């Protein structure tokens, strides 16, 4: 087709390192349901179902400053999510918009992407999300 598309995530970890601590968001009902059925150990890092803050130490109850599921590959500048298949909606839907990608230094954006319209970039992002969630 000859059209340069936004590149897929290269696992730089910038988003998870910036937003992965406590206070990033609350788990949705859907997140809680999925974790209950598929990965109940995740629930140990949630404040309570009434106030589902992510991520808290299951031992002390203190806020974590980094996502407990984020791990760095040894000897590489890349990260992976140990709960990727059941990661929370706030993670699954990152980034919210192109401005967030730019301010976070998201490496999915390439220099030529800056010349594209926001609508085009968001469309490309939605396509990448669809493919990665299949």
* Whole-prediction pTM: 0.80
Q: At residue 124, what are phi and psi to the nearest 5 degrees? A: -65, -40
Distances (CA, A) of 67 to 28, 63, 90: 17, 10, 13
Tens of pLDDT, residues 94-107: 888 888 888 888 88
Tens of pLDDT, residues 40-59: 999 999 877 667 788 889 99
Tens of pLDDT, residues 14-37: 988 888 776 667 889 999 999 999
């Amino acid at each position: 087709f000859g059209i340069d598309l936004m590149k897929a995530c290269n696992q730089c970890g910038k988003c998870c390192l910036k937003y992965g601590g406590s206070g990033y968001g609350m788990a949705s009902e859907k997140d809680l349901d999925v974790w209950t059925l598929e990965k109940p150990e995740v629930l140990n890092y949630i404040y309570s179902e009434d106030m589902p803050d992510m991520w808290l130490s299951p031992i002390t109850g203190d806020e974590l400053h980094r996502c407990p599921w984020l791990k760095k590959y040894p000897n590489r500048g890349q990260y992976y999510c140990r709960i990727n298949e059941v990661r929370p909606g706030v993670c699954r839907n990152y980034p919210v918009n192109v401005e967030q990608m730019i301010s976070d230094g998201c490496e999915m954006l390439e220099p030529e992407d800056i010349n594209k319209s926001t609508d085009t970039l968001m469309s490309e992002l939605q396509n990448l999300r669809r493919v990665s969630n299949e």
